Amino acid sequence: MEIKIYSEVKINKEYEEYIKEKIEKLKRFIFDNGYVEFYIKKDGPIFLIEIYLHSKNIKVFLKEKNNEMNKGVEILLDKTKVKLRKLHDKIVNK
């Protein structure tokens, strides 16, 4: 899975690798190779975190706003996991 992280906020390599590891774990809900675009933006005191996940059968776009970047990233990745699990189960149970 190809993962691209775009950030307006300076993040260190360890945190970037952590995000990539968490996204890689989502791969089990996808049936083919896809790609992920992960955005971290800052609008005043608020962080806007977005994820675009594209594969052959699944397209997901989710976003999260939070005052804390780390908390927002965790919430967004949890939401993405729930969404992908629902989509995966829907496809498998057809």
Domain count, the chain: 1
Q: Which of 1, 66, 59, 61 is nearest to 27 (CA)?
A: 1
Q: Are 29 and 21 contacting, i.e. CB atoms less than 8 angstroms apart?
A: no
pLDDT band per the 50, 70, 90 thresholds, residue 12? very high
Residue 88 or residue 42, greater confidence: 42
Q: What is the CATH number of the domain that holds 68?
A: 3.30.160.100
Range of the domain at 81: 2-92
Neighbours of 32 (CB within 10 A): 9
pLDDT at residue 32, rounded to an integer: 82
Average pLDDT over every residue of 27-51: 92
Share of the chain above pLDDT 90, in %: 76
The chain-wide mean pLDDT, for the chain, equals 92
Identify the weakest region by mean pLDDT among 5-14, 27-36, 46-55, 81-90.
27-36
Give the pLDDT band (50/70/90) at residue 84: very high
